[in-house]
Structure 1
Amino acid sequence: MKLASLRSRLLALIVMVLVIVLIPLGFLSAKHTLEEVDELSDARLAQAARTLEVLVDRIGVEHLREHRSARLLVPSVSNHPHELTVQGRTFESEVGFQVFDSDGSLLLATENLAGMPHTEAVDGAFEDTHKGKYRWRVFTLVKEDENITIRAGERYDSRNEITRALWIEHTLPLLLGLPLMAFLVGWAIRRGLMPLDQLAGALARRKPGSRAPVHLSDEPVELRPVLGALNGQIERLEEALERERRFSADVAHELRTPLASTMINLENAMASAQPDEAQTALEAARECLVSLARRTEQLLSLARLEAGAAAGPRGTVDLAALALDVVDELSPLIEAGGVELGVNLPDSLAVQGYTAALRSLLRNLLDNAFRHVPHGGHVDLSIRREGNQALIEVVDDGPGIPPERRDAMFTRFQRGLDTQGSGYGLGLSIVQRAVELHGASIRLLDGERGPGLRVVVTLPLA
């Protein structure tokens, strides 16, 4: 059965471990104790037999043989039974002894063992035998010089009492202690997992859109990495949601104008009775649609970069080869604008990055420069290595950007103050996002030959 609750799992596992450990330990301890008790009882029997040997020597074996017909019997019941009686039992009746002659005749015995037959046990042997309804443990001591055999016996009643007492002593604590221990362990687990309840409550009380980090009073050390990761995830999630909200609003705002212009031009073309006027309106509508397509492509590119979904995994990219591909791609725009492009590239320069993001970075840097320089203007693209970094530099002789507005130009839909450019204020936002993806940096500086703009991007090498 699967336990859904973490508390139930911990409790079941801990109790199972306790049972697996404590029960075998209790069993082994009881078994070892019983063995010790048996050895002690056997040693007591042997000691009693040797004590009797000394007494027999004092009495004299010949004297015992002379009175054999009298069958000397030692009483096995005390004259003061209340002194040696517990719960109606007389312990004197549970021990006894026998002394046999060499021919097996009984010389001396206690009353309770008088009827136990002689056996051919060797000297120092222990044996179990029955007399009536009782089972006895007997030790045999053979005196070869006197030709007599001494046997000391003990009923198993007392040993069984000790055995039962030991089993109760070892099992009762387990039977009573395990449920109590399970209850205490369950309480301890609830107390120990209380920070998880506090964390669940803190998350349940959070308001939608809140970016406040989650904190717990007296948070355990083990939960600190979880809280750190959780707060980081909440922050990233809120940032992603905020980007989505801004992007949706920006898309709606930016696409509304070209769509409205297209509709107006189409309506004018349909309403016009003059072919020339209709053709002009259709051409204007087509330009609006071309503008809309380009703006949509830039918005999609920005969305992919902001989501971090660059094409493919990060790998080794040759910046020089990539820059040549981008220049070839933009050659129609260069020719149409009458722009002179200077290129200074190494044979090869490798960086670790996303090919699609770096392509977008180079394309937007050059596209911005081409659209903001006047007809016949000049744009320089250079890529070089400086230490362990790669520098991408794009310089144009356009109107440039005032220093106080350069930080704001990375915001989406922010355009320069010149009227010559036909951009939408997305180029530098796309460039900045690509720079962030690569842990690089970007700077907007003054042109090297007077007016203009110099953009410098620094990337770590492969």
Structure 2
Amino acid sequence: MSAADKLIHPENSSVRRSLLLWLSIGILAGIVFAGSMIYVQVREQANQLFDYQMKQLVASLPSQSYAPLIPTRPELSNIQEDIIIQIWDTHGLRIYHSHDSSALPQRAELGFSNFSAQGTTWRIYSAQLGDTIVQVAQPLSARLELAARLALKTVAPLLLILPFLAGLIWVTVGRSLSAVQRAASDVQSRDAGALTPISEAGVPQEVQPLTKALNALLQRLDTSIKAQRNFIADAAHELKTPLTALKLQILLAERAADDGARQEAFADLKQGLERAIHLVQQLLTLARQEPGAVEEAPAPVDLQALVHGAIGDFAMTAADKNIDLGIRTEMPAQLMGNPDSLRILMNNLLDNAIRYSPPGSTVDVSLLADAGSVVISVQDNGPGIPEADLSRVFDRFYRVPGSNAKGTGLGLAIVRRIVEGQGGEVVLANTGKGLLVTVRLGGVQP
């Protein structure tokens, strides 16, 4: 990387240095442009002025014939700056020339013209005065030099002001960014648990989107950390009961007086272990569904095949309770989503429906697709949920008071988390013959 690149694109970029650099470049470019425009205008005006002077000089010479004149002394002249005069009589004889060394044409072309010789361009004016032809010439370099000097004198004060402007920019930007520095100091001085919003007092309007984004991030982190703390506390509380029961069952097995009592204690211990394992599995499933826990690219999911597969997995469980589990209505449907999460969703819906339905009842599943979404519904013949608890059953570890069915209170919480991740909604409704769970998912493929 060149030195210029390092200056323009430093590794540790500074807003103050960048603004100072680019504003200085912009001001300097503006001064150069203004100087160029001034130079062009002054050159045009100088050409007009010198052309007028050349005409006046010719007009001031006498119009009658006169004897040959003695040329000016060479040591006192400067051919690059002086005006050169040549005079011819009517016979073409040059009767006067101001500079012997000039390379001007020896024939006059009346009016204005330009002539180049020996690397010099001349501005020539010729006119006839009586019996003589007068030619006046001046090097264009003298005019250009005059225009350059005038343009430089005009922009020189601006160049002198440039350091003052650079200092003003440096101080002004520093004062504007002082609020950003205070916000940075505030964040740096905090500990890991301080997630209160950053003060936006005095922060420039251009920087406020950054502070607002940081405050939004801090709020999301605070919400996430609180949710994790609540989750850990609830999980610890829920695990305490089955683990205590397991310990008690182990003591009962150790103290059993005969083989029959010991077998009964081990059977209770086995059931307790299965409930604890199911609870841990549900906890792990819920943790995996937390936002940002698993980042998997959406994939096409055949919902019809997924529903059939879930019903096949629970067919034996439903048969053990003499429950008729089947599909009432279905149609082909595909959407973009996480296949594992959608399979967990169906498993939890069917597990709850079978768990709370009495023996000899039915559980009906429907799969419908409409414009842009797909609807999965599960109707059971259970006791339903009291209207006051319909919204609370989505909370982790919440179980309806008086319910005799054994569960962890995590099934519907997992369902809602998966549905929200898919951009859908889940609705519970009591139909009079049981609970109807309706899940609407977006992202349907045509």
TM score, norm. by length of structure 2: 0.75
Aligned partner of 1:91 in structure 2 is none
| Residue 412 of structure 1, CA deviation | 1.0
Which residue of the other structure, out of 241, 250, 253, is the alignment partner of 2:225? 241
Aligned partner of 1:6 in structure 2 is 15
Equivalent pairs, count: 421
- Paired amino acid for 1:438: Q
Q: Is the 8 A contact 2:289 2:414 kept in 1?
A: yes
| Residue 431 of structure 1, CA deviation | 1.7
Which residue of the other structure, out of 407, 419, 430, is the alignment partner of 2:414? 430
Aligned partner of 2:108 in structure 1 is 123
- Paired amino acid for 2:364: L
Aligned partner of 1:77 in structure 2 is none
Is structure 2 residue 280 aligned with structure 1 residue 296? yes
Aligned-partner Cα distance in 2 for 1:315–1:141:
90
Aligned-partner Cα distance in 2 for 1:395–1:126:
103
Aligned partner of 1:414 in structure 2 is 398
Aligned partner of 1:457 in structure 2 is 439
- Paired amino acid for 1:121: Q
Is structure 2 residue 162 aligned with structure 1 residue 178? yes
Mapping 1:177-196, distance limit 5 Å: 177-187=161-171, 189-190=173-174, 196=180
Mapping 1:41-190, distance limit 5 Å: 41-52=50-61, 55-57=62-64, 61=65, 64-65=66-67, 121-124=106-109, 141=126, 143=128, 146=131, 148-150=132-134, 152=136, 162=146, 165-187=149-171, 189-190=173-174
Aligned-residue Cα RMSD (Å) equals 4.5
Q: Is the 8 A contact 2:63 2:130 kept in 1?
A: no
Aligned partner of 1:80 in structure 2 is none
Q: Which runs of 5+ in 2 are unaligned?
A: 1-5, 73-81
Aligned-partner Cα distance in 2 for 1:127–1:343:
103
Q: Is the 8 A contact 1:100 1:106 kept in 2?
A: yes
Is structure 2 residue 364 aligned with structure 1 residue 381? yes
Q: Is the 8 A contact 2:85 2:135 kept in 1?
A: yes
- Paired amino acid for 2:20: L
* 1:311-338 CA distance string (max 9 Å, x none): 8434554433322211221233223334
1:299 alignment partner, SS class: helix
Aligned partner of 2:432 in structure 1 is 448
Percentage of matched positions with identical amino acids: 27
Q: Is the 8 A contact 2:177 2:204 kept in 1?
A: no
Q: Which runs of 5+ in 1 are unaligned?
A: 75-93, 130-134
* 1:172-194 CA distance string (max 9 Å, x none): 13431332333344445446656
Structure-2 change in CA distance of 1:423 and 1:161 (3 Å) = closer
Aligned partner of 1:81 in structure 2 is none
1:423 alignment partner, SS class: coil
| Residue 140 of structure 1, CA deviation | 6.9
| Residue 39 of structure 1, CA deviation | 5.3
Aligned partner of 1:22 in structure 2 is 31
- Paired amino acid for 2:306: L
Aligned-partner Cα distance in 2 for 1:385–1:156:
90
Q: Is the 8 A contact 1:396 1:447 kept in 2?
A: no
Aligned partner of 2:79 in structure 1 is none
- Paired amino acid for 2:49: L
- Paired amino acid for 2:379: V
Moved more, 194-203 or 394-403: 194-203
Aligned-partner Cα distance in 1 for 2:86–2:262:
141
Aligned-partner Cα distance in 2 for 1:192–1:406:
54
Q: Is the 8 A contact 1:104 1:118 kept in 2?
A: no
* 1:93-129 CA distance string (max 9 Å, x none): x87967565686857x9xxx59989976321577899
TM score, norm. by length of structure 1: 0.72
Q: Is the 8 A contact 1:30 1:170 kept in 2?
A: no
Q: Is the 8 A contact 1:122 1:140 kept in 2?
A: no
Structure-2 change in CA distance of 1:35 and 1:296 (3 Å) = same
2:437 alignment partner, SS class: strand
Higher normalized helix content (fraction of residues): 1
Moved more, 431-440 or 223-232: 223-232
| Residue 43 of structure 1, CA deviation | 3.9
Structure-2 change in CA distance of 1:40 and 1:402 (3 Å) = same
Moved more, 378-387 or 292-301: 378-387
* 1:182-229 CA distance string (max 9 Å, x none): 334444544665664565467568786677665635876655654554
* 1:366-409 CA distance string (max 9 Å, x none): 212322334x2424223143864544333333343322223222
Structure-2 change in CA distance of 1:426 and 1:115 (3 Å) = closer
* 1:288-343 CA distance string (max 9 Å, x none): 22222211111111112223657843455443332221122123322333434353
Aligned-partner Cα distance in 2 for 1:17–1:407:
62
Aligned-partner Cα distance in 2 for 1:157–1:383:
95
Aligned-partner Cα distance in 1 for 2:302–2:436:
23
